[in-house]
Amino acid sequence: MKKLLGVYAIFLVVLWVYFGWVYELDTYADSRYAAYRYAYSFTQLTFPWIVLLSFIIMDWHKGMLDWIEKRFKKKWVQSFIFGVVFMTALQLISLPLDGVGYSMSKAASISHQPIGDWLVEWSIQSVLFIVVVAVLIAVFRSIVSKFPQKWWLVLWLTSLPVAFFIIYVQPIWIDPLFEDFTSLEAGSLKDSIVELAGEAGIEEDHIFQVNMSEKTSTFNAYVTGIGGQKRIVLWDTMLNGMSQGEVLFILAHEIAHYVKHHVYIGVAGYLLLSVVLLWSLARIYSLIYRNGKERLGLRERSDLRSVPVLLLVLTFLMFATQPINLYVSRVMERTADRYAIEHTDDLQPALESYQALARESKSDLSPHNWIVWLRYTHPPLGERIERIQSEMDQRTQND
């Protein structure tokens, strides 16, 4: 274990030195915030691997599990309590790293969220995450006991209605736990937004603004929800910090996501990927169970001692498939950009909107391809700026 921790420490040193001093950063900002953010992102990605490996190798969870099994007789109670305790431990271990990310954003003036507010939000997110995972562990154990060979398929089928329910109610119940959502403020900007959205068949009551100015100075907008709860959300930082032309171009981009049903495509992709992940997890777990159950102390396939192993394998599988998710996301973002460009007569505000976004977020305009493949849900801002500039040049030549 000491050797593993030593290797990981060396990895972290190389990672932070590379992004801190070696990596060529292309940014409007006078800081290396974007580069340091890459280092933090890859630290955050790999940290759970080391923690879970530590639990597996050192058997840190064994004593806790023995106590739970002696104290509680019902399997579902054992599963839920173990899930709560185990995931709470993981969250608390990760808290210092999460705090580093918060501090980085504060130091770079990306965030101005008070520490107390951040801790409350972190706590709410953690509680929701812990409860959901604890329930999943209990459900997983029950399903594996009843369907030892096809548990992955049964678990996937069971998750479908739950996933749709969460996606449907997220805009109503989940998102408001963290942010304040209101209707657009009256004025000429609202009239222009409502008019542009109306041309695409989007009603006013499906457009909201969210109060983010208390936390950050960056700009953003997004589409969320499905069915009757599908909506466009605009950050108040964008509404107050951009010109009307810039806001309308960003809105046109989000309208493209709305009318081209990208949320539904994303949900379909999630469902397809989840069944592949669960099938792969089942195959790998079967190999581990056959060849290492004695060493891991597994008495049955549904043994709670398998939880750290399953979580570790799942995180590896999610990392391996992440480039596919990101590629599909970037394709949809490029499609939305094209739609916005085609539906905007004056592209100068569009150009300025992305330039403003790059300045406010202190983004890397031209990240290396391998970083894009591993981390980027959107095309790099440098690419998006060049696309608009190219269209402007083309229109000038045609006039």
Residues noted as catalytic? 254
What's the DSSP call for residue 184?
P
Cα 179 from Cα 386, distance rounded (Å)? 33
**301 to each of 61, 75, 82, 286, 290, how far by Cα in Å?**
18, 14, 16, 8, 10
Half-sphere exposure at residue 139, Cβ-oriented, CA atoms within 13 angstroms: 14
Handedness of CA 41, 366, 266, 178 (dihedral sign): positive
Task: Compute the chain's Rg from CA coordinates.
Answer: 24
**319 to each of 48, 143, 288, 295, 398, how far by Cα in Å?**
12, 25, 19, 26, 46
- The DSSP bridge pattern shows strands 231-235 and 207-210 to be parallel
Contacts of residue 145, defined as CB under 8 A and 6 or more positions apart, other chains included, come to 75, 300, 301, 302
Long-range contacts of 145-150 (CB under 8 A, 24+ apart): 145/75, 145/300, 145/301, 145/302, 148/301
Half-sphere exposure at residue 46, Cβ-oriented, CA atoms within 13 angstroms: 14
Cα 131 from Cα 241, distance rounded (Å)? 38
Closest among 263, 264, 260, 262 to 201, alpha carbons compared: 260
